[in-house]
Structure 1
């Protein structure tokens, strides 16, 4: 049975058939993952889910049968969000693949997935507490954000224990939170999540300057603010920060070079806008020029090189996926994800 409101959704396995239980579960998660029973046998499927929309973040408590999950590029573009999904594995384990690398999380571990990037996973019987948070709530430098997708915080570490206990407590009190309390809980959770993810991607011995004070972070923030400006280039960065060409290039060498970094950030931004651009005439041009490219041709070449398809094909695929989701009456997650904000309240 599905019980729902604007702020709360519940999927229960004890009042419906396994096939109906799976249909409701799959529909509820459709904007996060494509889900399927691990053995393909829907007749033995069981899943329970309680999700709450607290304005500035979403929290969900779930317990489910073994499954496989997939979030591919077409789903990423159809949903068009770049929030972070933080999952505590209360019990069970999950193997997952991100950026071509295989990893796993077990009981007590906390795992982060970037919803602007593809992933796939396979889980046994799994109980989780999950948070979806806008990335603006998480205080990390851009360099660290590039590494959080698939990052695992060991549940046995000091920060792992602190964050685990905080998430367990949040799950208990979340149904009773009001607007003022929700804001305070959000601030506390954001601080712990930021510290936990910093440790997961940088190691516990990372210095404060590495995490929040680097010159690279300042330059990356400048780039993010100016991605739509066609004039953004290594030269404008050098002038703004008073850097020599050799210093700037050496700073971005670990990220593949400053010019490639700017281009890839523009392309990633354009990819997340596919669902909102529409398939009418001029869509590709709008994507190109609103993301700082000098011409539609240059944008199309770079887009195909990065994503393996041209922008028009990607727009059509995104539109197809989005249209399919809009017809599902119980796809409440899509509206919740789109409405999530770093300053929201109930």
Structure 2
């Protein structure tokens, strides 16, 4: 059954369980890599000879993706390739039950059991974790970003002993225990309350130079991003086109994107991401690399190749050869359901007794 069909079977009260315990030892590492691929490239820690192991329990409650994960010692890497391919653009709020340390977009991060760590899934990271687990939820970017003034939250850690951390942990656990379908109004209230508490806690952990945007810049930034995404294949897409479309000053536009390296960098990076997605898709008619680059507004092949390699660490031709074996469904719960079924199938095959 395809993931597309699986999506129609999933409702918000379904809990999907996946475990490498159902998979024979020799298949466990590859299986776990595929399960966790929307989030990371998962590998054993250096020097470890044990296969990757883990379990996931995931469900959708009150409009939120709630999950609990256990794992042995592992290394996680989220690079530009995974960010572009997965399409995940939320914040992952993780209550950690392991020791975690790593580099979150050039920021050193350490979290201990009981801490809450914020992962911005639009930013890169590399992290090592000891055997343990975490309880987490995904929060839509626009909701939390608006509540925190669009400050950079990637890698912020709320320590376990803080009162707000304890409150958040209890609240998340209560949301995760909900079993009945909530009304739309109740679900919205649950999500709003979580964001309010979380934003209040995070404001206390943000550095003084976090650089919150003013409301007008926030509104312009989101409208400009939407405009870029809808016009990504328009060869005339440029800062000047955006200035004319929204009738704003150059200073206002550049201030809204100062933390991103400027509006020109945002346009270039989103075009490169679109090129990567087309090169790695298996469900579209194949076009040449030059045709894809030209259609996305790159008139200079050398600049395109250089930018692509810088962003993704490989050439467009290499990206095409290393494309994923399948397409990730936009619905994350459907992805988990697919692998839950696959684990059960592998377990049944493993325990089948050959006929005499």
The aligned counterpart of 1:85 is 92
The alignment's C-alpha RMSD in Å is 4.2
The aligned counterpart of 2:224 is 223
Which is worse superposed, 299-308 or 115-124? 299-308
The aligned counterpart of 1:344 is none
User: 2:311 matched to 1:303?
Assistant: no
Which is worse superposed, 258-267 or 239-248? 239-248
Q: Residues 154-303 of structure 1 correspond to what in structure 2 (within 5 A)?
A: 154-173=159-178, 176-180=179-183, 182-197=187-202, 199-201=204-206, 211=212, 213-227=214-228, 228=231, 229-239=234-244, 243-245=248-250, 249=254, 252-253=257-258, 255-268=260-273, 270-271=275-276, 274-276=279-281, 278=284, 280-282=286-288, 285-286=291-292, 289=295, 293=297, 295=299, 297=301, 299-303=304-308
The aligned counterpart of 1:101 is 107
Name the SS for the 2:150 alignment partner: helix
The aligned counterpart of 2:156 is 151
Q: 1:57 aligns with which of 59, 64, 71?
A: 64
Give the 3 Å change call, closer, same or farther, for CA 269–224 of structure 1 in structure 2.
Answer: farther
Structure 2 CA distance for aligned equivalents of residues 265 and 27 of structure 1: 25
Name the SS for the 2:92 alignment partner: strand
Structure 2 CA distance for aligned equivalents of residues 13 and 270 of structure 1: 34
Give the 3 Å change call, closer, same or farther, for CA 28–301 of structure 1 in structure 2.
Answer: closer
Q: For the Cα contact (< 8 Å) 1:36–1:68, is it kept in 2? A: yes
Cα deviation, 1:201-220, whole Å, max 9, x if unaligned, reads 456x98xxx75644432332
Name the SS for the 1:51 alignment partner: strand
Structure 2 CA distance for aligned equivalents of residues 316 and 17 of structure 1: 29
Cα deviation, 1:210-262, whole Å, max 9, x if unaligned, reads 75644432332232022125444333444456555456556655543333343
Name the SS for the 1:149 alignment partner: coil
Structure 1 CA distance for aligned equivalents of residues 212 and 181 of structure 2: 32
Structure 1 CA distance for aligned equivalents of residues 170 and 257 of structure 2: 38
Structure 1 CA distance for aligned equivalents of residues 265 and 24 of structure 2: 52
Name the SS for the 2:155 alignment partner: coil
Deviation of 1:33 (Å): 2.7
Which is worse superposed, 111-120 or 7-16? 7-16
Structure 2 CA distance for aligned equivalents of residues 268 and 155 of structure 1: 37
Give the 3 Å change call, closer, same or farther, for CA 213–332 of structure 1 in structure 2.
Answer: same
TM-score by length of 2: 0.68
Structure 1 gap ranges (5+) = 337-346
Cα deviation, 1:136-173, whole Å, max 9, x if unaligned, reads 4434389836x233232334445433322211222333
The aligned counterpart of 2:38 is 31
